[in-house]
Amino acid sequence: MNAFLVSVGVVALGEIGDKTQLLAMVLAARYHRPAVICLGILVATLLNHALAGVVGIAVADLVHPTVLKWVLGISFLLMAGWLLIPDKLDDEPKPLRGLGVLATTMVMFFLAEMGDKTQIATVALAARYDDLAAVVGGSTLGMMLANVPAVYLGSKAASRLPLKWVHGAAAALFVMVGVAALADAAGWFGA
């Protein structure tokens, strides 16, 4: 349950103001089909985060547990710093010819999530907790908690959120997870 809840919290907070959330708002404004866009985000996130989770578990299997704890602790601290850097869409997304709203959303969201903060967080969480279902389920729920309101409420709601505070809270959560991982690596929690 801990892996699921941490994954929900980390990804939901980390996604607010993220480029994929901005993409969700742009898609909603362009297509005016919020339910279809939300379904596309769900499918893309499940696929993307399942792959990320598999990578995380593979890394955990390849790296010595003590080294992994140190790497994960440092990674979470670096992610905390990365969360404090505001995201923006590089370009206005262009509709994909021949694809409907669902397929366009799935492809664009899947690609935008590649190498994104929340995908990398999912890799690290899967390596940390070694519970693929809980991490992917939690990270997907966190993604939906952040993006469904963005799709339905659009930029009006997002512009009213104090993004510095939200990113600060997300960074604090990453710091706590990172410090816990480093404390575990240092043996502060016992053997």
Residue 190 in any domain: the answer is: no
For residues 23 and 89, is the Cβ–Cβ distance under 8 A?
A: yes
CA distance 62 to 44: 27
Residue type present at position 113: E
When comparing pLDDT for 90 and 46, which is higher?
A: 46
Give me the pLDDT at residue 177, please: 72
Residue 72 in any domain: the answer is: yes
For residues 10 and 170, is the Cβ–Cβ distance under 8 A?
A: yes
For residues 178 and 80, is the Cβ–Cβ distance under 8 A?
A: yes
For residue 111, the enclosing domain spans 2-185
Number of domain units in the chain: 1
CA 188 to chain centre: 29
Residue 146 in any domain: the answer is: yes
Residue 171 in any domain: the answer is: yes
When comparing pLDDT for 16 and 4, which is higher?
A: 4
Which residue in 78, 99, 127, 91 sits closest to 19, CA to CA? 91
Residue 52 in any domain: the answer is: yes
Residue 157 in any domain: the answer is: yes
Residue 173 in any domain: the answer is: yes
pLDDT (tens digit, 9 = 90+) per residue, 9-34? 888 888 877 778 888 888 888 888 89
Residue 191 in any domain: the answer is: no
